[in-house]
Amino acid sequence: MSKNILLINPWIHDFAAYDFWLKPLGLLYLGGLLRANGHEVSYLDCLDPYSPLMLEKGIRAPRRHAHGHGRFFRRVIEKPSCLQSLPRSYCRYGIDPDVFSMELAKYKNTDLVLVTSMMTYWYPGVAEAIRIVRDILPGIPVVLGGKYASLCFDHATAFSGADYVIRGRGEKPVLDLIENLFGETPAFVPPEDNLDALPYPAFDLLRRIDQIPVTTSLGCPYRCSYCSSHLFYKKYLRRDPVLVACEIEHWQKSSGVTDFSFYDDALLVDPEGMIIPLLAEIKRRNLSCRFHCPNGLHVRSIDKDMSRLLFNAGFKTIRFGFETADFQCQKDTGGKVQNDELHSAVIHLKNAGYASADIGVYLLCGIPGQKAADVLQSIDFVLQCGAKPVLAEYSPIPGTKMWPDAVSASIFDIEDEPLYHNNSLLCCRNEDFSYEVYSGIKAKLKGWVY
């Protein structure tokens, strides 16, 4: 017998949050799979920027950009006591809790609630959503999964309020749980290593499709010391590029969407294995898309042909994971890039038609032991190359190679309190690279004209 399953994307509680092509892709993948198993799936999005109930309350709609990014609704809320030292306001991003409760009351016949989680330090929004679910839908089992659940499993078990906390990929565990709870033998269990067997994510459940995130792979062939990708996905798995093009065509034809964001950790590596055949297939099908890469791309793959390919295919938002111009640090953190590679990549990209402001280069800021001079030199190098430096404040992640260094370097108890993983806190700052120095650098960059 089919079950009624409610998917929930919880709130973000943070100092800052911007919808930079942000959607709960993993949760919606599970939605697609549950439907393929005959279940009725519904979706409630605490972050919904288009909520009519919010507008009915007279709240101004958040400003959105035509390419599928923009602001969320937000309310200033009380800052958790352990974050008091940062003199910035703290907000709940998303719809108001009373609107969430009203929406939730429509799902009294729910059999199971699935809640996702992203950043570890967003857990208060997860716990708040689960508290309200308990109140409005008493007795209904609540399952939590996603990044926070995986990276801080013990914390999530103790503090989220969920009945079940699942770490890692959710496909099989969720089907197993449904079997255990309701005696439902799954009709379709996708093979773990075959991403092509997964049904499409349930994007049609969104109130409005303003962009579609796509992932052509799970995991990463690199093992960078600050990153947790390899902890989630032991193997680097890729889809068939032709089937990725089929998915893009499907969403474009069914919803008219033109903006697509890639969530891959390594979209451009081994170009013959993915990006070249994928873009050829998109061209062959005459699809007209805008592509956005909020998650960093690998600089190493950018040559003359790749630059032209990306430009002509409609890659509008490009960000590179460069992290630092310091050779030793590049080597120590994973060796994915070197300075001359960025230099030549920018030349090729500009020759292909990109402007400096289009070429965003992420620089890791505030890693353990980092000196202000390192960040300043990295910024200078990116500017000399003719690209745009984008500061990415380091968020320490349990289980990564850099984690023990972060634990010893941090002035905060990052082991016991995930709120201290917040990138805005710059938790591994030091005397040389203080919060004030960092704020000065950030302000200077903000006023830079490219």
- Residue 50 buriedness (CB in 10 A; 0-12 / 13-18 / 19+): middle
CA distance 92 to 132: 15
Would you count residue 210 as binding ligand B12 (CB under 6 A)?
no
Which one among 6, 10, 11, 22 touches ligand B12, defined by CB under 6 A? 22
> Where in 230-269 is the site for ligand B12 (CB under 6 A)?
232, 263, 265
How many residues in the shown chain lie near ligand B12 by CB under 6 A? Answer: 45
CA distance 92 to 104: 18
Q: Is the dihedral of CA 345, 378, 443, 12 positive or negative?
A: positive
Token representation of residue 162: 């969920």
Q: Which residue, 338, 267, 368, is CA-closest to 309?
A: 267
Would you count residue 293 as binding ligand B12 (CB under 6 A)?
no
β-bridge partners, 19: 70
The pattern of x and - marking residues 153 through 172 that bind ligand B12 according to CB under 6 A reads: -------------x--xxx-
Would you count residue 9 as binding ligand B12 (CB under 6 A)?
no
Nearer to ligand B12, 248 or 352 (CB): 248
- Choose one: 81-89, 126-134, 142-150, 283-291; the region binding ligand B12 (CB under 6 A): 142-150
- What three-state secondary structure class fits 315? strand
CA distance 297 to 319: 6
The pattern of x and - marking residues 379 through 418 that bind ligand B12 according to CB under 6 A reads: -------------xx-x-x---------------------
The pattern of x and - marking residues 111 through 130 that bind ligand B12 according to CB under 6 A reads: ---xxx-xxxx---------
Those residues with Cβ within 8 angstroms of residue 287's Cβ, 6 or more apart along the chain or in another chain:
245, 248, 249, 252
Contact call for residues 236 and 217 (beta carbons, < 8 A):
yes
Which residue type, as a one-letter code, is found at position 333?
A: T
The pattern of x and - marking residues 24 through 63 that bind ligand B12 according to CB under 6 A reads: xxxx-xx---------------------------------
Q: Given the rule CB under 6 A, which residues bind ligand B12?
A: 17, 20, 22-27, 29-30, 114-116, 118-121, 143-147, 150-151, 166, 169-171, 173-174, 215, 227-229, 232, 263, 265, 294-295, 392-393, 395, 397, 421, 423
